[in-house]
Structure 1
């Protein structure tokens, strides 16, 4: 193996190691959003569920294919490398779609949070306390959301619970969660796609080298 093939082989290996870690990051971000925002997702429409679920699915698939790519690079298997490159191209398209979906819809989702929480609060204030517990907040906009009604225990860190020691509103807390994790997932997708493009080129080059090597071995 020449110096060039050696470099391509191990660059591809360590690049896929990065992909595996990035896949785990996407998976972890999706799980974190799903767990942290469970109370909101339970009362929200399906548009709030798409990003974390898609992130978990894409992250898990990226991890598996990156592991496949590492094996193909080390073994210099033409079949594995070609298959890996094809799957990577498909994943690039999926991640571009995911990032586009997030960036295009993030603002509208964030701006729609107050309406969703206000509707949930007016519909069932007892169920709304799940959100208050999850985000350590009080009402959609703060303790004044309850007007003259006594504040629930979930609105305060200590008892008795009064407007003076109550948490701030849930609107800002939930919006902050969506903005932070939405941008994080989108940025990770874009960075991974950029590096995947290089990995696909390297994978095809190494596959071509492996094919030529196999042909020469038959002569």
Structure 2
């Protein structure tokens, strides 16, 4: 009787062990993929050959998202895989504590965002304005802003006039850019019947608004 219970408990233990292993190896592979994409993007931009250029970008480099998320997934996946496969109590504890820390940080961030919502709003506006200034400085940042504006159907943080912060889109007399007093194409409302994106649809938009 005792041997039957022991066998059943051992069978359940094996199922949990290989379930955790299978879940974490997928997690680990995803982490490797995120890191590879991030490093490839930096390689394409020449950052790996000139590490000091990391600090040159005025706005946010989206590649950091891939590297940070990929790094965390890689570490967690590795600890979970090896810990489950080898039944290593240290790695399993590390895995559990790491997950607990991430959950605690997310909970803390949520509480702080609620308590200091005005400060968070100011910092968010500052962050968005910095990235508007750096719109043409980095292709990944440019694509991220365009995607965000298209997805949320918005233009800048507060409106189209936010693009006056960018040297290519501002309305100053000294601005020689063809995009002067305009907005990026991602601000435009798209016609479903059009198959080709009109990248010049934002030209002179704010100039027309002012004159009108």
TM-score normalised over the length of structure 1: 0.48
Which structure: greater helix fraction? 1
TM-score normalised over the length of structure 2: 0.49
Structure with bigger RCO (C-alpha 8 Å, 6+ apart): 1
